[in-house]
Structure 1
């Protein structure tokens, strides 16, 4: 019985190691592009509905948090579906690795929002830039399992976040466009990267056959 347990543990360890060394292809380019369009639509909605976002920070961030939840749900459903189709037996391990890569930055972003809202409400103008920087760091962390060009999208989010932070620091205002445009461009870039990676992967398989 002890030998059987050891053998099962070894199999699990081998599967986890293979999953860590296999490029994750569970992110669909169409879904990523849809989340970019969602960010742009959210910015348009806020620009039309919120006359002065800085005077209604709860509405401003509430709408963005709702948009982020929708985006995460879309990506999550698509990721599980594609992983089961493309990675078959490794799907669960691959999805777990992806979650572990993105979860720290997402969790920190949520905690920052709660702490700033509770203890420094006058500093909420910093959150859009900080969220973009954290998104970039999350992509850099995930580059070990995603196609390497994903680091370009990570660099975009880092530069965009720092630029947004610098622009907002002049008057401490909240702008729908300082959230919508960087995320729309970043998600669009990710969609192109994943589409090209999938196309190259498929081309390699066809050539091998």
Structure 2
């Protein structure tokens, strides 16, 4: 019985290692482009209809969190579909490997938002830039499973986040465009890279 348990554990370990070393093709270019469109629509809607966002940070971040949840749901659904189609028997291990890569950045972003909102609400203007920096770090961490060119998008998010913090430091106010434009450019570029490296959404 112990030999059987050891053999099963070895099989799981081998499958996990293969999943970590295999290029992840679960991201679809059209879905990634759609997340850029969501960011653009959110920024434009806030700029046109919400007026002075400095007095309503809750509404500002609430809309962006809602947009992020919608985008995440789209990407998650498409990732599961494509992974089961393209990676077959390794699908579950591949998805878990991808989650392991992105979860630390996502978790850090959520914790930063909660802590700043609770203990330093006057510093909420820092969040858009900090979130962009964390997205960049998440993309750098994904280098082992995504195309190498994705690191360029990670560098974009990192530099954009630092630039947004520098710009916002002058007024310490929230802007839909300093939040939205980096994500529009980043997600559209990411979609183009994925499309060129075999992540088109056509069935294979």
Q: Within 2, Cα distance between the matches of 1:34 and 1:125?
A: 26
2:49 — aligned with what? Answer: 49
The C-alpha deviation readout for 1:94-117, integer Å capped at 9, x for no partner, is 100100100001001011000111
Q: What does the per-residue CA deviation read over 1:4-51, in whole Å, with 9 as the maximum and x for residues that have no partner?
A: 111111111111111011000000000000000000000011011211
Matched, 1:170 2:170: yes
Q: Deviations over 1:49-85 (max 9, x none)?
A: 2110111000000000000000110000000000000
- Residues 172-193 of structure 1: CA distance to partner in whole angstroms, max 9, x if unpaired? 0100000111000000011011
Equivalent pairs counted in the alignment come to: 200
Q: Which runs of 5+ in 1 are unaligned?
A: 201-209
Inter-partner Cα distance in structure 1 for 2:68 and 2:159: 20
> In the alignment, is residue 5 of structure 1 matched against residue 41 of structure 2?
no
The answer as to 2:134 corresponding to 1:134 is yes
* 2: CA distance, partners of 1:119 / 1:15: 44
Instruction: State the match for 1:188 in structure 2.
Output: 188
The structural deviation recorded for 1:199 is 6.7
Between the aligned partners of 1:106 and 1:54, the Cα distance in structure 2 is 25
Shift of 1:2: 1.4
**What CA RMSD, in Å, does the superposition of the two structures yield over aligned residues?**
1.0
Give 1:139 shift.
0.4
Contact 2:29-2:199 at 8 Å conserved across structures: no
Report what 2:36 is aligned to. 36
Contact 2:128 2:164 in 1 (8 A): yes
SS of the aligned residue for 1:148 comes to coil
TM-score (norm 1): 0.94
- Matched with 2:155 is 155
